[in-house]
């Protein structure tokens, strides 16, 4: 069963079949789990509608539960606070889909899928990026991207020269995370007109070229 909150028809066709098959395998024998997720989805849907017209700090738990048609204690059975909904959105809309790519050794397509997920509902994600706090969506996204890149460094051997001891998995993951996380935030919050494939190609170009490769730098000796 596919959740109505997380349709797949926005995805590039190359991802559609892979993720559908993964969802079908995961869905077997999950009746109790599906019931719990349905309640979480209702609460999340209520939050999605509220955040588009109400600042995050003005949204109360009662407003969320009223919109979902449940009582206040039900909310706390599923989420610790409003920030828990942000974590759930990140998990359902992005993390689970990217996990499928990794399981199928399609890491080269991760950034394209990430851009596709965010671009399908840019107005909503723009609101999420405006949220402040120690567990904001921006911080959660940064941590997710860091863990994602770090997991790739753990999965495959590093090719960095042994003499460059400072290039640890942690330092490399942070370097690439800062660039990727900020690029994504800028594209979403500044209404950059882009297609997911275009942004993915730009990022791929940047990570394969140095700063001096991007300018008409005079050759040494001239």
Q: For the chain, what is the mean pLDDT?
A: 83
Confidence bin at 215 (pLDDT 50/70/90): confident
CA distance linking residue 210 with residue 63, whole number of Å: 49
Q: Is residue 104 part of a domain?
A: yes
Q: Is residue 82 part of a domain?
A: yes
Q: Is residue 81 part of a domain?
A: yes
- Start-to-end CA span in the chain (Å): 65
Higher pLDDT, 71 or 214: 71
Average pLDDT over residues 156-166: 76
pLDDT at 131 over 90: yes
Q: Is residue 134 part of a domain?
A: yes
Per DSSP, the three-state class of 162 is coil
Whichever domain contains 155, its CATH number is: 1.10.357.10
Task: Calculate what percentage of the chain has a pLDDT beyond 70.
Answer: 82
Q: Is residue 219 part of a domain?
A: no
The predicted structure's pLDDT at residue 26? 54
By residue range, what is the domain housing residue 108? 13-210
Structural domains of the chain, count: 1
Q: Is residue 3 part of a domain?
A: no
Q: Is residue 61 part of a domain?
A: yes
pLDDT at 195 over 80: yes
pTM over 0.95: no
């Amino acid at each position: 069963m596919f959740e109505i909150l997380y349709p797949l028809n926005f995805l590039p066709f190359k991802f559609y079949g892979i993720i559908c098959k993964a969802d079908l395998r995961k869905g077997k024998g999950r009746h109790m789990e599906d019931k719990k997720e349905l309640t979480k989805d209702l609460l999340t849907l209520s939050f999605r509608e509220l955040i588009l017209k109400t600042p995050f700090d003005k949204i109360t738990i009662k407003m969320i539960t009223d919109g979902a048609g449940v009582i206040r204690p039900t909310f706390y059975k599923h989420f610790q606070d409003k920030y828990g909904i942000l974590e759930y959105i990140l998990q359902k809309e992005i993390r689970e889909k990217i996990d499928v790519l990794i399981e199928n050794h399609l890491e080269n397509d991760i950034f394209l899928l990430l851009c596709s997920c965010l671009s399908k509902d840019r107005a909503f994600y723009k609101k999420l990026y405006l949220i402040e706090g120690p567990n904001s969506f921006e911080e959660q996204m940064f941590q997710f991207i860091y863990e994602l890149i770090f997991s790739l460094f753990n999965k495959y051997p590093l090719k960095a020269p042994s003499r460059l001891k400072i290039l640890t998995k942690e330092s490399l993951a942070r370097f690439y995370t800062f660039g990727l996380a900020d690029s994504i935030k800028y594209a979403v919050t500044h209404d950059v007109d882009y297609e997911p494939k275009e942004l993915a190609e730009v990022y791929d170009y940047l990570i394969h070229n140095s700063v001096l490769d991007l300018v008409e730098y005079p050759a040494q000796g001239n």
